[in-house]
Amino acid sequence: MLIVADNLHVIRPEIARALASMDPGPIQALVRQCAQAGAQAIDLNCGPLKRDPETRMTFLVETVRAVTDLPLLLDTTNPAALAAGLAACGGRATINGFSLEPAKLEGILPLARRYETDIVGYLLHPDSRVPHETDEMMALAVSLFEAYRALDLDPARLIIDPVIAPLAWPDGTRHNRAVLALIHQLPDLLGTPVRTMAGLSNLASGAMPLTRKITLEQAFLPMLAAAGLDLLLVNVTHGPTLDTARLCAGLLGEGVFAWGPT
Amino acid sequence: MLIVADNLHVIRPEIARALASMDPGPIQALVRQCAQAGAQAIDLNCGPLKRDPETRMTFLVETVRAVTDLPLLLDTTNPAALAAGLAACGGRATINGFSLEPAKLEGILPLARRYETDIVGYLLHPDSRVPHETDEMMALAVSLFEAYRALDLDPARLIIDPVIAPLAWPDGTRHNRAVLALIHQLPDLLGTPVRTMAGLSNLASGAMPLTRKITLEQAFLPMLAAAGLDLLLVNVTHGPTLDTARLCAGLLGEGVFAWGPT
């Protein structure tokens, strides 16, 4: 299970300011902190980047690349920004991500073909609604896989994210049980071992004490790991959560962490 | 997931002494401690009871019954002791347990029929060897289920324990991965939702710091819970482990804990 830091996010004011003013300092400080905390890859969540998308994404990728060789995920809904970011790192990044939304299928998925990269596909309805039942998620996974294969792309480069729901949602618990079942059954469903990713920070989002967040993460993470999760998107400053992730890898007998198609 | 205390064990010197001298004090103190810590059932592990098995088991059951109404598991390899214990509580206990060993099939399994009780069946070879592969465990589960059904017993009263291995064993990790797969696949394999039990204390047995034991238990427990485990045999004085067990029940949407055939 690969540990991907979700910390570099435009929702953080210092990151938003650094992106707006093209100031590498705060970004590089955060990247170093993530690497030190145990991140094995870093998600660069820069939002839609409405102003100067190419310039800002190029700046972001070069700024991060200057201080780390860790694999990167480029996390934006802006195709122009994605293309610029992929060009800036010679295509050595994962696109995060597409879904069955028409704009994503048309604007983002073709970039995975053009740059021959890994890409994350989210299990969302074409109108962005979140599915709650395992059957519904499975139908979306089949449609997503078909849309992906329609471009003649390699199944080994697809990463499916079934979208963890906040427990605070009325049907959050039921939804997350369905996520576990989906991850477990996906290889059989698609007939090929497509990788999976999940964003653990969603689970305990909202106002609650940090210790409670971490305890919830520590309880759900082993369930995800045992279901066969490949990439864990997580706040890497949650030390006990990362300890649990490493223990899970040991308990599940993962000799080495894998990245990319093997 | 029902929390069963494994604390009342003849391996503890004060319990061995109390049983030998028929002194109810230490036994009742421990039972009260387990109930307070969150035990929802108590395993009475009194060993083979070679001397005065009927008298001592009757004493043990009556001593425990005097201070708690929690469900009991009678954990001995001695059929005479089991019969006396079951008689002492009017058959209101679970037999723990039998296996494919001829002595268990002949001496213990028939007691489940005579007293109409739940019974735990261990996945061990007839010569008591521990299986390590999922396929091997599955074959043993089928044989055990057939032996159980041959006495025309109710599948809803059978609890299968696939035997967690110590991580210190050379193949402990692989074994415990097979245990998870077995628990997950058992209902499909047998075509009926037979319950499962696992003894978590086995995982981190041997010399290691208590905090390390608890951390390992906390990482493996959610995997067991997500696989569908019904009864968790556990040291209930490990507070964080019990907290995790309760969180797992919440995350998996268990509204109420169930006991016995439903």
CA distance B223 to A247: 12
Q: How far apart are CA A18 and CA A9, in angstroms?
A: 11
Name which of A173, A180, A215 is nearest B226 (Cβ-Cβ): A180
The shortest CB-CB distance from A248 to any of B219, B247, B251 is to: B219
Closest listed residue to residue B58, CA positions, set B32, B26, B33, B82: B82
Looking at the DSSP bridge assignments, the partners of residue B196 are B160
Please name the helix (run of DSSP H) or strand (run of DSSP E) that holds residue B62, with its range, or none.
helix B53-65
Q: What is the DSSP letter of A192?
A: S
Domain positions in chain A: 2-251
CATH superfamily of the A2-251 domain: Dihydropteroate synthase-like (3.20.20.20)
- From the list A215, A223, A252, the residue facing B177 with the nearest CB is A252
Measured between beta carbons, the chain B residues lying within 8 angstroms of A225 are: 223
pLDDT recorded at residue A207: 87
Cβ atoms of A156 and A117 within 8 Å: the answer is: no
Q: Which residues 162-221 on chain A approach chain B with CB closer than 8 angstroms?
A: 167, 173-174, 176-177, 180, 184, 215-216, 218-221
DSSP states along A106-149:
HHTHHHHHHHT--EEEE---TT-PPP-SHHHHHHHHHHHHHHHH
Instruction: Measure CB to CB from residue B244 to each of A180, A219, A243 and give the nearest one.
Output: A219
Torsion sign (Cα): A164, A166, A170, A176: positive
Q: How far does chain B reach from its first CA to its final CA, in angstroms?
A: 14
CA angle A246, A248, A249 (to 5 degrees): 65
Beta bridge partners of A53: none
**Predicted confidence (pLDDT) per residue in B30-83, tens digit:** 999 999 999 999 999 999 999 999 999 999 999 999 999 999 999 999 999 999
pLDDT tens for A134-168 read: 999 999 999 999 999 999 999 999 999 999 999 99
- The 10 Å Cβ neighbour count of residue A47 is 17
Q: Which residues pair with A160 in a beta bridge?
A: A121, A196
Q: What is the pLDDT of residue A30?
A: 98
Q: What is the pTM of this model?
A: 0.91
User: pLDDT truncated to tens, each residue of chain B (262 aa)?
Assistant: 999 999 999 999 999 999 999 999 999 999 999 999 999 999 999 999 999 999 999 999 999 999 999 999 999 999 999 999 999 999 999 999 999 999 999 999 999 999 999 999 999 999 999 998 999 999 999 999 999 999 999 999 999 999 999 999 988 999 999 999 999 999 999 999 999 999 999 999 988 999 999 999 999 999 999 999 999 999 999 999 999 999 999 999 864 333 222 2
Residues B240 and B216: their CA atoms lie apart, in Å, by 11
Report which DSSP code applies to B94: E
Across the strands, what pairs with B74?
B44, B95
**Cis bond upstream, residue A25 (ω within 30):** no
pLDDT of residue A259: 28
Note whether B246 contacts A: Cβ–Cβ < 8 A.
Answer: no
Closest CA to B79 of B60, B97, B93, B100: B97
Chain A contact set for B181 (CB, 8 A): none
For residue B144, what are the CA distances in angstroms to A217, B60, B133, B140, B199? 37, 29, 16, 6, 19
Mutate to test the interface with B, among A215, A251, A254 (most CBs of B within 10 A): A251
* Cross-chain Cβ contact B243/A215 below 8 Å: yes
Closest residue in B to A178 (Cα) is B252
SS3 (DSSP) at A168: coil
